[in-house]
Amino acid sequence: MNEDGSGIIILDQSLLPGEEKYIELKTPEEFYEAIRTLQVRGAPAIGIFAAFAMAVIAGREAEPKSIRSCCGASLTSDETFMNTMKKFGDYLKSSRPTAVNLAWAVDRIIHAVRIRIQQARREDPLRPDANAGARVLAETVLKEAEAIRNEDIEMCLSISRHGLSLLSDGDGILTHCNAGPLATSRYGTALGPIILGTEQGMKFHVFADETRPLLQGARLTTYELMKAGADVTLICDNMASIVMSRGLVNACFVGCDRIAANGDTANKIGTSGVAILAGHYGIPFYVLGPTSTVDLSCPDGSRIPIEERNPEEIVSKYYDRPVAPEGVKCFNPAFDVTPAGLITAIITEKGILKPPYTDSLRDALK
Ligand code: MRU
């Protein structure tokens, strides 16, 4: 957040690696657009960002009554405050549907506000309509946002340690998309073990899939690993098979956007192809993510909503001129689902979970 709590300052990921530009966002529309356009991206990072965006709007609700709130209601009761939070939370949730961390963080904030309102009523039993007050509720929101961020830092460190225990010095690792510090709070998930191990003097050879069409691997994973001093080689997505066939990959490490109750996992488009190749070549395929990415209400991968994005991303976004005929039909899903059967283990902050995931995930979330 910025100094007076009126906005959020982020590193605009859409401009990396060419430009390291920090931007300040203040309005609901700016928050929404930042998520939609991937200025902030990566499942845990958008959850944390959404939580702080809610803290900004909550702080505005706590300003004097003459100032109108973001969503049209004027600041009054706890009920009004809650309605504003819910309305803004739903708006944010609609920006990107697949990563469950976004909805998880919004719902967690709403829950914290609800608990605080109930507490105020319990503290004043003679007045069932007692208000906690917008200032107190805004503080609650900010505290919860900070807790979400701090817990993510701890979770990433723990995931990194568990992931590192699966690696040996000199290993070759293939990764897809970007699941590093930019996509989380610190260390990252899939890149966490690599960065942690590199800090400890270990040497790995990382193959980063470029990750068409938005090039998170080419733009962000290489940028982060080079900064961390790790050895990284960029490959096009369709080159994964040849590096695997040559024995250059000992393990695949990928992040996740939503893990269903049976272990089916949504991650960046192309991830399931990597898993199929890894299965063919007998290479372990690991999914790394915090338990906030697990959605037990989703029984299997067929229920995970898959975001579809603008065809312009395939045809022209990173090219001087369009690479396909004008008007060509395109299909641009942003994620795919890797079936649980192709996943060797799911590495969470709670430990290394093994199949059957229906049991191990349920136990980890108890
Ligand atoms: O569309 P993106 O760039 O937000 O997709 C991100 C991914 O698929 C990541 O692998 C995932 O969010 C894990 S981030 C720790």
- What string of pLDDT tens digits covers the 366 residues of the chain? 999 999 999 999 999 999 999 999 999 999 999 999 999 999 999 999 999 999 999 999 988 764 455 555 454 689 999 999 999 999 999 999 999 999 999 999 999 999 999 998 888 877 767 888 999 999 999 999 999 999 999 999 999 999 999 999 999 999 999 999 999 988 999 999 999 999 999 999 999 999 999 999 999 999 999 999 999 999 999 999 999 999 999 999 999 999 999 999 999 999 999 999 999 999 999 999 999 999 999 999 999 999 999 999 999 999 999 999 999 999 999 999 999 999 999 999 999 999 999 999 999 999
Task: Kindly give the interhelix angle for 43-61 and 78-93, rounded to the nearest 10 degrees.
Answer: 150
Q: Computed from CA positions of residues 304, 155, 93, 218, in that sequence, does the dihedral angle turn out positive or negative?
A: negative
- For residue 220, give every residue at least 6 positions away whose Cβ sits within 8 Å of its Cβ, in sequence order, or none: 13, 16, 17, 178, 180, 182, 183
Q: Which atom of ligand 1 is nearest to the CA of 43?
A: 12
- For residue 174, give every residue at least 6 positions away whose Cβ sits within 8 Å of its Cβ, in sequence order, or none: 206, 207, 209, 240, 243, 244, 249, 251, 252, 253, 274, 278, 283
User: In angstroms, rounded to a whole number, what is the distance separating the alpha carbons of residues 236 and 255?
Assistant: 18
Q: Which atom of ligand 1 is nearest to the CA of 216?
A: 3
CB 209 within 8 A of CB 235: yes
Q: Would you please indicate which residues are annotated as catalytic (active-site) residues?
A: 257
Tokens, residue 245: 């066939």
Residue 309's CB is within 10 A of a number of other CB atoms, namely: 18
pLDDT in tens, 329-341: 999 999 999 999 9
pLDDT in tens, 341-350: 999 999 999 9
- For residue 119, give every residue at least 6 positions away whose Cβ sits within 8 Å of its Cβ, in sequence order, or none: 132
CB 360 within 8 A of CB 353: yes
Residues with CB under 6 A from ligand 1: 38, 41-44, 99, 177, 179, 183-184, 188-189, 216, 255-257, 267-268, 334
CB 173 within 8 A of CB 253: yes
CB 265 within 8 A of CB 305: no
What is the predicted pLDDT for the residue at 254? 98
Angle (CA) 25 28 33, round 5°: 70
Question: How much is the CA Rg of the chain, to the nearest whole Å?
Answer: 21
Q: Which atom of ligand 1 is nearest to the CA of 267?
A: 8
| Cα-to-centroid distance, 255 and ligand 1 (Å) | 7
What is the predicted pLDDT for the residue at 216? 98
What is the predicted pLDDT for the residue at 155? 97
Q: What share of the chain is helix, strand, coil (3-state, %, to 5)?
A: 45, 15, 40
| Cα-to-centroid distance, 268 and ligand 1 (Å) | 6
What is the predicted pLDDT for the residue at 73? 45
| Cα-to-centroid distance, 257 and ligand 1 (Å) | 6
Which residues are registered as beta bridge partners of 353?
346
Tokens, residue 237: 């997505």
Q: Which residue bears the tokens 């991937």? A: 38
Give the DSSP letter of residue 309.
Answer: -
User: In angstroms, rounded to a whole number, what is the distance separating the alpha carbons of residues 68 and 90?
Assistant: 20
Nearest-CA neighbor of 252 among 188, 206, 313?
206
What is the predicted pLDDT for the residue at 66? 45
| Cα-to-centroid distance, 116 and ligand 1 (Å) | 33
